[in-house]
Copies of this chain bind each other. A is one copy, B any other.
Amino acid sequence: MKNFVLSAAAGLLLTGCSRPPAVSADAPVSAPGAIQYRLKMDQVKYDFGVYPPVASLHPGDILETNTADSDGHAVEAAGYKTGGFNPLTGPFFVEGAQPGDTLAIRFLSMDVDGDIGYGDIDPDFGGAINSNPYTPMLGPGIGKRSWTYPIDRATNTATFRAKDSTFSVRIPLHPFLGCVGVAPASGEVRSSIVPAEFGGNMDASEASVGNTLYLPVNVPGALLFMGDGHAAMGDGEIAGTAIEVSMRVRVKLDLIRKKKIGWPRFENADYIMAAGIYRPMDDALRIAFTELVRWMGEDYGLSAIDAYELLSKTAEIHVAEMVDPNYVVVAKINKKYLPHGR
């Protein structure tokens, strides 16, 4: 264990460490095909990077685990002090994953874990139309306010209650993970509030049941992290939060060897989808579409110019969020518009 920590030290790549010799007693390696890992609140991480894994999996394994809510209510309920937003479950080491491979995460089930969701307007975040750290304005913006959202399992809804009137309304649940990511490239370690090439805090509702997420593998074992469950969210997450919840999730992990992608991608039976993650939104859109054009060339044989024209007539754009340190846009095309239906 000590040897592992040494080789994983301080932002250095896991050179010479193809696999940890063992994982902690708290994270037993399950029989191939099914892994359970129950988050211990003293093991949460607040960054995507090279940390000792909490469990090790083989490609093809199904992982069942749980995640704490973004505000750390679950962490504090367990008697710990939160270390920031978006406490993460993980990392999970994927056997055989090497830089240059692609990790596939298929979302099998997601269930809100608890009876309450949280929403906040927080000056530390601000949101898209409030002074915030990266678009700062003089003058008072909108101050801190908090909402709780009772979760009703019978109707599968959460309830919004207005602060300044008696209005309330039910919002249907669409559970997804705000954070799914791997250790970044180039020895970087990134905060759990940041989305980027490695995935991370994408706040993309595409990270939900029925979809597969592809992430580039940057370090041996990939090192998968998950967290920031959302019971429901509007496009753009414009005030800075979704309905923030703890979550129970089941995902199936697979590895596509020697397949190198530039940015996170999603896929389901009907769509291929590329995420563009940067600022301003203009650049996020450019990234998403150049990646999607590349995909349409590599896997569907369309020339760049044909793909560009076809997207101009058929693309769909989902603005996932415009409030995190990078913005996230997902560009999509329905497979019915692509050659040989694949």
Q: Which residues of A contact B (CB under 8 A)?
A: 2, 5-6, 8-12, 46-47, 49-52, 84, 119, 121, 127-131, 134-142, 145, 147, 149, 160, 162-165, 167, 169, 171, 186-191, 232-243, 278-283, 285-287, 289-290, 293, 301-306, 308-319, 322, 327, 329, 331, 336-339
Q: Which residues of B contact A303 (CB under 8 A)?
A: 162-165
> How far does the alpha carbon of A16 sit from the alpha carbon of B6 in the complex, in Å?
17
> How far does the alpha carbon of A233 sit from the alpha carbon of B309 in the complex, in Å?
10
Q: Which residues of B contact A131 (CB under 8 A)?
A: 137, 139
Within the complex, the shortest CB–CB distance from A82 to chain B, in Å, comes to 13
Q: Which residues of B contact A5 (CB under 8 A)?
A: 6, 9-10
In the complex the two chains form, is A306's CB within 8 Å of B190's CB?
Answer: no
Within the complex, the shortest CB–CB distance from A283 to chain B, in Å, comes to 5
Q: Which residues of B contact A234 (CB under 8 A)?
A: 311-316
In the complex the two chains form, is A129's CB within 8 Å of B293's CB?
Answer: yes
Besides the contacts A130-B139, A236-B289, A238-B308, what 14 more A-B pairs have beta carbons closer than 8 Å? A2-B6, A8-B10, A10-B11, A11-B189, A130-B137, A142-B305, A163-B306, A165-B306, A188-B190, A188-B191, A235-B317, A238-B285, A243-B313, A319-B319
Within the complex, the shortest CB–CB distance from A151 to chain B, in Å, comes to 13
Closest to A166 in B: B339
Closest to A234 in B: B315
Given A6-B5, A141-B137: A281 in contact with B285 (beta carbons within 8 A) = yes
Q: Which residues of B contact A283 (CB under 8 A)?
A: 134-135, 279-280
Q: Which residues of B contact A84 (CB under 8 A)?
A: 186
Q: Which residues of B contact A302 (CB under 8 A)?
A: 162, 164-165, 167
Within the complex, the shortest CB–CB distance from A332 to chain B, in Å, comes to 9
In the complex the two chains form, is B289's CB within 8 Å of A238's CB?
Answer: yes
Q: Which residues of B contact A309 (CB under 8 A)?
A: 119, 121, 145, 147, 160, 163, 239
In the complex the two chains form, is A47's CB within 8 Å of B239's CB?
Answer: no
24 residue pairs from A and B, CB less than 8 Å apart: A5-B9, A10-B49, A10-B51, A46-B187, A130-B139, A131-B137, A134-B283, A139-B141, A145-B305, A160-B309, A160-B314, A163-B303, A169-B336, A169-B338, A171-B337, A188-B188, A188-B189, A238-B285, A238-B312, A239-B309, A240-B312, A282-B327, A285-B322, A317-B319
Q: Which residues of B contact A305 (CB under 8 A)?
A: 121, 138, 142, 145, 163-164
Closest to A187 in B: B47
In the complex the two chains form, is A287's CB within 8 Å of B136's CB?
Answer: yes
Q: Which residues of B contact A316 (CB under 8 A)?
A: 234-235
Within the complex, the shortest CB–CB distance from A28 to chain B, in Å, comes to 22
Q: Which residues of B contact A322 (CB under 8 A)?
A: 282, 285
Q: Which residues of B contact A317 (CB under 8 A)?
A: 235-236, 318-319
